[in-house]
Amino acid sequence: MLSFLRPSLFVDSVLKLRPQTLTACGIRGLVLDLDNTLLPWGEEEFPRGLLAWLGEVRLAGLAACVVSNNKRRRVERLASALGVSWIHGAGKPRGRGFRAAMAIMGTAPRETAVVGDQIFTDVFGGNRLGLFTVLVTPMSNREFPGTRLVRLVEWLVLRRLGI
């Protein structure tokens, strides 16, 4: 069971994730979580450097799609501002949102990476489908109240995994 919770890669920030590292692994598409991965939870402004990072992603030939459990208005507005495809109400860790993103990007599981801040949604969901999973440190301590509770269990699992 722990193998489904172990990310393929761990980085402190999405901005430290080098697109060349992903393309060297055969990755052609990125499924990107939104809150606490691309911007702090509940915020409306992207952090400095994110647009430049997405430019590097595009230059490396990677497709990108935001996949979020959040509501349509928020996801559509923010993903559109980034110029990427999006899926709202994804129901992660279920596979529907991941599969829809792969269909949009035209990628197969072995060519797709999931980048997110939660092991029980992003990493678990991606690993179950055979995707390359990248865990990032959450950008903020502010979160949905239910997520804060899950973080306690997540912390224990991360310690057990040695991350």
pLDDT tens digits for range 89-101? 999 999 999 999 9
Amino acid, single-letter form, for residue 100: A
Per-residue model confidence (pLDDT) at position 1: 65
Residue 114: exposed, middle, or buried by beta-carbon count in 10 A (0-12, 13-18, 19+)? buried
pLDDT tens digits for range 6-65? 999 999 999 999 999 999 999 999 999 999 999 998 888 999 999 999 999 999 999 999
Residue 103: exposed, middle, or buried by beta-carbon count in 10 A (0-12, 13-18, 19+)? exposed
Provide the percentage of residues in the chain whose pLDDT is more than 90: 81
Does 3.90.76.10 match the CATH number of domain 2-161?
no
- Tokens describing residue 5: 């919770």
